Amino acid sequence: MASPMRIRAAAKDGVTEVRVLMSHVMETGQRKDSSGAVIPAHFITELTAKHNDRLVLAAEFGPSVSTNPYLAFKFAGGAKGDKLVVSWVDNKGDSRSDEVQIA
């Protein structure tokens, strides 16, 4: 199972700033191991962020994103105490969803 994300979300003047750190190998599928065998691709393909039940961000990820990706974005709205959920799915069907309260 994938490790938890580190999510921080803070609302200020009607805008919420979200910062997410994900734990993922983000293997490109282009690398070889020491015996010359291709290391299979393994990377996040889709990510969504929901404020309460409203979708505020939908993103497509790919193999060019680094290991342990960091994502920061802002959206209009959001208040202290509201729920924010970030979820991702990868090309192997693994997924992870974490929730925080907006600070």
> Residue 99 and residue 5: Cα distance in Å, rounded?
9
Taking CB under 8 A as the binding criterion, the range among 40-48, 52-60, 63-71, 79-87 that sits at the site for another protein is 63-71
- Verify binding: residue 52, another protein, rule CB under 8 A: no
Taking CB under 8 A as the binding criterion, the range among 29-37, 54-62, 65-73, 92-100 that sits at the site for another protein is 65-73
- Verify binding: residue 39, another protein, rule CB under 8 A: no
Going by C-alpha positions, the residue among 31, 37, 41 that lies closest to residue 62 is 41
Place of tokens 């990820």: 61
Separation in Å, CA 41 to CA 8, 31, 58, 62: 29, 9, 22, 10
- Verify binding: residue 70, another protein, rule CB under 8 A: yes
Residues that bind another protein (CB under 8 A): 3-4, 6, 19, 21, 23, 66-68, 70, 72
